Amino acid sequence: MTGQPKFELFAFWRTSATYRVRVALNLKGLQADERFINIDAGDQRSEAYLKINPLGGIPTLVEAGHPPLTQSSAILEFLDEIHPSPPLLPADPHGRARVRGIAAMLTADTHPMVTPRIRKYLTTTGGFNDAAFRAWQQHWFTTGLAAVEQRLASEPATGKFCHGDQPTIADICLASIIAVMRVFKMSVPDTPTIDRIIATCDAHDAFAKADPYKQAGAPKV
């Protein structure tokens, strides 16, 4: 594609936050060369990676000639600003706040509880065994998704997607949580609105192409 910025995406096959950026790139028709950071091997804590992402989180998006961009939510909004079509946020302020609010319920209040660094701390310092950590994950996934379900099921702005009939940042963030739960073979019951929206996302190419098991480095299933 001519005129497209040259992006590198520091990524790992199964990470929820990387999934978000992959979906946004797909929706926008943008490409990025992926650089594999193996979380299972601890590559995110390497000196070289910490120089571009001091918290050791995946992903990082690097555009040639610019400083690295971290935090998937900031990257989604950046991509939306440099490439506004199709929009990832509604046009009206109330709609934008709703979409950002639903997204933050997942990315700010749910996902951070279950990241590998939390697992490492709880299982090495916090006295958790694997079963206790799995119960912890289930608890936080359930807390987050039950609250999102309550909003989606009750608010009139919900459509085929979380907000109306086009995918927004809220859908990207919702699908990113479900994608990682699928990897860990976990589910949350009694979320019919989320299940319906995820079925719509699954049928959308931009989401389907971002499936963790379709990424470089993923195990064969």
Ligand X SMILES: N[C@@H](CCC(=O)N[C@@H](CS)C(=O)NCC(=O)O)C(=O)O
Q: Does 16 bind ligand X (CB under 6 A)?
A: yes
Cβ-based nearer residue to ligand X, 117 or 160: 117
Number of residues that bind ligand X (CB under 6 A): 15
Q: Report the nearest approach of ligand X to the CB of residue 56 (Å).
A: 5
Q: Per-residue string for binding with ligand X, 165-204, x by CB under 6 A?
A: ----------------------------------------
Cβ-based nearer residue to ligand X, 23 or 158: 23
| 3 state DSSP class of 35 | strand
User: CA 164, CA 37: separation in Å to the nearest integer?
Assistant: 35
Cβ-based nearer residue to ligand X, 95 or 116: 116
Q: Per-residue string for binding with ligand X, 98-127, x by CB under 6 A?
A: ---------x-------xxx----------
Give the per-residue SS3 of the chain.
CCCCCCEEEEECCCCHHHHHHHHHHHHHCCCCEEEECCHHHCHHHCHHHHHHCCCCCCCEEEECCCCCEECHHHHHHHHHHHCCCCCCCCCCHHHHHHHHHHHHHHHCCCHHHHCHHHHHHHHHCCCCCHHHHHHHHHHHHHHHHHHHHHHHHHCCCECCCCCECCCCHHHHHHHHHHHHHHHCCCCCCCCHHHHHHHHHHHCCHHHHCCCHHHCCCCCCC
Q: Report the nearest approach of ligand X to the CB of residue 3 (Å).
A: 27
Cβ-based nearer residue to ligand X, 51 or 94: 51
User: What does the block give as tokens for 64?
Assistant: 């040639």
Q: Does 44 bind ligand X (CB under 6 A)?
A: yes
Q: Report the nearest approach of ligand X to the CB of residue 171 (Å).
A: 16
- Give the range of 9-17, 81-89, 140-148, 158-166 binding ligand X by CB under 6 A: 9-17
Task: Enumerate residues 46-85 that contact ligand X by CB under 6 A.
Answer: 56-58, 71-73
| 3 state DSSP class of 159 | coil
The residue from 11, 32, 39, 206 that contacts ligand X (CB under 6 A) is 39
User: Angle at the Cα of 89 (from 83 to 93), degrees rounded to 5?
Assistant: 125
Query: Whose CB is nearest to ligand X?
Result: 57
Given the rule CB under 6 A, which residues bind ligand X? 15-17, 39, 44, 56-58, 71-73, 107, 115-117
